[in-house]
Structures are given as C-alpha cells and as structure tokens.
Amino acid sequence: MGLVDQWRQIRADLPADWADVRLAISVPSPSQRSHAAALLGPAGPGIAGDELRVTVSRTGSGIGPDQLGKLLRKIDKAWTRGRLRLLAVVEREARVDTPRLRHADAWAQAVAALPPDWSDLYCELELTSSDHLQRAALLLAPVNPARVPGRSAYRFRVAHTFGYGASPQMTVRCFERLDQEGIPGRLTILHILSDTHNVDTQGPVWRVGGKAV
C-alpha cells in the first residue's frame, strides 16, 4: 500500500476535532530516505534513525492534511516504499460559544491591545465555511491574502506606517466589506513586531513552514 493510501486510512480514524498530528515515515533504504526527505521539503521533516517525522496541522503549526497528501503522492510516484505511522494526536481545545464580533470590531479590539510602537503584524482570518473562500479572497484582495493549505483560512501582513503589508486603514475597510456580506470568521494575530527599522528592505521577513512570508 502506498503512502497516500496509508495517510487516508490514518486520517479516516482521527477524531473529528483533531488539531495536529505527528507522523513517522519509515524508509529503510538510505538513498530512498534521502530522496523522500527532499520531496517532503515543504513539511520540514525531521530525521530519527530510518524515519522521517512531520507535523500535520489544522491550526497552522505545520503543513495541512491535503498538502501532505500531495507530497506523499510524489514519493509514491518515485517508487519509494515506506510505512507511515501515527505518533501523536493533539485535539482542539473546547471552545465556549459566544456572540461573534463583527470583523471590523474584532480588528479594532485586537489593535487596541497592541503596544503603541507596533510596526508589523502577521494575521490569520479563519472562515467558518469553505463556501466563503472565493468571495472572501476577492474582498480581501487589497491585503494580499495567502491561503492556508488544508484549511478555510487566509493569512496576510499589516504594516503600521511603512514597509511590506497592508495599512491598518485598508485592513479595516476589507473587514467592513466582509461584514456587509455577512461572511463569518475568526481573526487571530499570529506574530507581532515593534519598532522595526527597514534598511534597504520592504520590511522584516517571517519564516513559516520553511517559507518566507
């Protein structure tokens, strides 16, 4: 059985509220293991003996489940034989249902809690339904949203006064458009930098999942 089929079986048995899983891919042949590690590059695999280890996430701490499937398919096509096994599962924390804020109000509250000298933000907007993905991408276009693999979520940067990222004013206008069309979601500020000074650059660079954002 190929790695893609093994992943389908493991995924089907996961609890409905799983957030992150840790997987091990056993590849006995050193040459094939090296090739498999290269194909798994976007997942940032670790090596333990004859195993490659990766984290798959629905919360943004690793690659998404669909992206892993695509990487494993490449390994299968390379005729690399391996065994996939589940190491650990982390389930989502239980959430208490509360009245949902409008996006513009949630943004205002988040910004009010920031230090006054904040300069750069890396944000995520998770939609409650994949049905809204295309429309939300259009309404959020001015902030240059990037889709989070395997999830109904977008990430984007905001720059306070200068540098790479949308302005706070443009960001709130995009959120107001989402509110006008009744597209629900949840805003999270993932990373924040304060008082940065750009020298011959457009701003700081975060590396997430091995990629610059």
Q: For residue range 111-165, list pLDDT tens digits in order.
A: 888 888 888 899 999 998 888 999 999 999 999 999 998 889 999 999 987 767 8
pLDDT(48) > 90? no
Residues 107 and 204 in one domain: yes
Tell me, what CATH number does 17's domain have?
Answer: 3.30.70
**Average confidence score pLDDT of the chain:** 84
CB-based contacts of 58, cutoff 8 Å, min separation 6: 18, 19, 20, 64, 65, 92, 150, 151
Of 91, 120, 149, the residue at which a domain comes to its end is: 91
Q: Distance (Å, rounded) from C-alpha 123 to C-alpha 186?
A: 11
Where is 21: in which H helix or E strand?
Answer: strand 18-26
Residues 72 and 125 in one domain: no
In this prediction, residue 8 carries a pLDDT of: 92
Of 35, 57, 91, the residue at which a domain comes to its end is: 91
Of 33, 63, 91, the residue at which a domain comes to its end is: 91
Domain count, the chain: 2
In this prediction, residue 51 carries a pLDDT of: 87
Residues 199 and 116 in one domain: yes
What sign has the CA pseudo-torsion 141, 147, 153, 156?
negative
Mean pLDDT of 13-22: 86
Q: Are strands 153-159 and 211-212 parallel, antiparallel or unpaired?
A: unpaired
Residues 74 and 168 in one domain: no
Q: Which residues of 73-97 are buried (b: 16+ CB within 10 A; e: fewer)?
A: ebbbeeebbbebebeeeeeeeeeee
Per-residue pLDDT band for 9 (boundaries 50, 70, 90) equals very high
Distances (CA, A) of 38 to 46, 86, 87, 144: 11, 21, 21, 29
Q: Are strands 118-127 and 46-48 parallel, antiparallel or unpaired?
A: unpaired
98: in domain: no
pLDDT(98) > 80? no
Q: Which domain range does residue 126 map to?
A: 103-212
Residues 207 and 118 in one domain: yes
pLDDT(32) > 90? no
Of the given ranges (12-16, 104-108, 174-178), which has the lowest mean pLDDT? 12-16
Residues 84 and 21 in one domain: yes
pLDDT(211) > 70? no
Residues 11 and 76 in one domain: yes
DSSP label of 143: G
96: in domain: no
Of the given ranges (61-70, 106-115, 118-127), which has the lowest mean pLDDT? 61-70
Residues 107 and 208 in one domain: yes
